[in-house]
Amino acid sequence: MIKYLQPIRAWRSRRELRELQQWEQIRKKGKGRFLIRTSIYYGFAIVGITDLYENLFYGVHYVSLPNVIYYLGAGFVISLIAWSDREAKFKRAVQAARRW
């Protein structure tokens, strides 16, 4: 059974390595840029999705400035959480690599 899991483990390992390499490039560009970009992507994506939902089920477009500001703020909080999570994973990987 373990023999069959080896390709899956190898794929996961390559994926994690690729994610860490991508994160290294992202963090070089700076925390501020990451926070702003992620906030904007999240905020406008959610506004678009809710507008589409309202239009499909209620026949009304409901995009308002307070909604945009709210979802951009929520995106900022989510991007802060994402930054700290990815940074913690990156630091753990660096420490593990130093031990070897």
Average pLDDT over residues 25-32: 95
Query: Which residue, among 38, 23, 27, has the nearest Cα to 74 in the 3D structure?
Result: 38
Domain span at residue 29 reads 2-99
Is the confidence at residue 81, as pLDDT, over 90?
Answer: yes
Residue pair 43/71 in contact (Cβ under 8 Å)? The answer is: yes
Residues 6+ apart with CB under 8 A from 71: 42, 43, 44, 46, 47
Nearest 5 degrees, angle CA 9-CA 13-CA 17? Answer: 170
Question: pLDDT of 34-65, one tens digit each?
Answer: 999 999 999 999 999 999 999 999 888 878 89
Is the confidence at residue 100, as pLDDT, over 80?
Answer: no
Question: pLDDT of 6-25, one tens digit each?
Answer: 888 888 889 988 999 999 99
Number of domains in the chain: 1
The CA–CA distances, whole Å, from 55 to 19, 49, 52, 58, 72 equal: 37, 10, 5, 6, 21
